[in-house]
Amino acid sequence: MLVLNNIEVIYDNVILVLRGVSIEAPEGGITTVLGANGAGKTTTLKAISGLLRPERGDITRGSIEYGGNRIDRMQAHDIVKMGIVQVFEGRRVFEHLSAEENLVAGGHVLPSTAKLRENIDRVYTYFPRLKERRGVQAGYLSGGEQQMLAVGRALMSEPGMILLDEPSLGLAPMIIEEIFGIIRRLREEQGVTFLIVEQNATLALGIADFGYVMENGAIVLEGPAEQLRENADIKEFYLGMSGEEKRSFRDVKHYRRRKRWLG
């Protein structure tokens, strides 16, 4: 469904952020991109959703295709109409609108009021807590409720693909489990394709079919999620599991990683 082919992104005509990134996200699957802060994960999502230009970023090399159509030269609103919606890190709900008004805003591309109502009811099916809180200003919702609202708002436009940026950030474990369970249901019942950016490798690899590891703007490792969960480097650097005695943080976290992954 989605193919990034060797894309390069530069900010302000001088800062190279993505260095030849290639990613595939098959239709109906859950794909994850792992990496630390500053690795280039969010920039990758913005390149897909067409949101680089407002931040003075440009795709200077490579291409992005969705459903066989090239989208890297399209405007953000046209990409949404094609069926790609991004859920930002930190939720970013409209705090002064009610929960239901946020959902209405997410359905602005729908053709009729009847379809809008139908989709709101569908969101409430997956997020019954939002129905209970539909009249509450979004700014007064808990962090977990805001994350549910952000995902629900994305669903309103009937997307084929949702880009999720750090969906677990700042949430309690029980809420995270609930939200990730709903993501599984949406994939299974609605056929929604997901590309999830996460720092929490345990969560991401537990739900994904395929994963990529990004460092310094480049993909350094990729494979089926099950295979990555068993990878010694992933266990050591992202899951905190290692049977080796560590001589120093610098030796293990810097030198060995560069030696194994970057050659």
Q: Is 85 helix (H, G, I), strand (E, B) or coil?
A: strand
Which pLDDT tens digit goes with each residue over 192-221? 999 999 888 888 999 999 999 999 999 999
The predicted structure's pLDDT at residue 75: 93
77 in Cβ contact with 86 (< 8 Å): no
The residue assigned the tokens 């990034």 is 4
Q: List, as own/partner pairs, every contact residues 249-253 make where C-beta atoms lie below 8 angstroms and the sequence separation is at least 24, other chains included.
A: none
The predicted structure's pLDDT at residue 237: 75
25 in Cβ contact with 160 (< 8 Å): no
Low-confidence winner among 47-56, 185-194, 245-254 (lowest mean pLDDT): 245-254
Which pLDDT tens digit goes with each residue over 27-40? 999 999 998 888 89
The predicted structure's pLDDT at residue 159: 93
The predicted structure's pLDDT at residue 108: 85
Contacts of 194 by beta carbon, 8 Å cutoff, 6+ apart? 25, 29, 30, 31, 161, 162, 163, 164, 183, 186, 187
**Domains of the chain by residue range:** 1-83+159-224, 94-157, 231-263
d(CA 249, CA 233): 14
d(CA 243, CA 247): 13
CATH topology of domain 1-83+159-224: Rossmann fold (3.40.50)
Query: How wide is the angle at C-alpha 218 spanned by C-alphas 215 and 261, nearest 5°?
Result: 65
Average pLDDT, stretch 49-72? 93
Which pLDDT tens digit goes with each residue over 221-248? 999 999 998 888 887 777 666 555 444 3
Q: What is the mean pLDDT of the chain?
A: 88
Distances (CA, A) of 167 to 145, 155, 196: 12, 15, 8
SS3 content of the chain, % helix, strand, coil (to 5): 45, 25, 30
Q: Per the structure block, which two tokens stand in for 195? A: 């590309």
- The whole model's pTM is what? 0.87
Smallest CA-to-CA distance from 210 within 197, 223, 191 is with 223
Q: Residue 171 gets which letter from DSSP?
A: -
Cross-strand pairs, 18:
9
d(CA 260, CA 10): 27
Helix (H) or strand (E) holding 10: strand 2-11
Query: What is the CB neighbour count within 10 angstroms for residue 261?
Result: 15
Length of the chain: 263
98 in Cβ contact with 134 (< 8 Å): yes
Q: Which residue has the higher pLDDT, 257 or 137?
A: 137
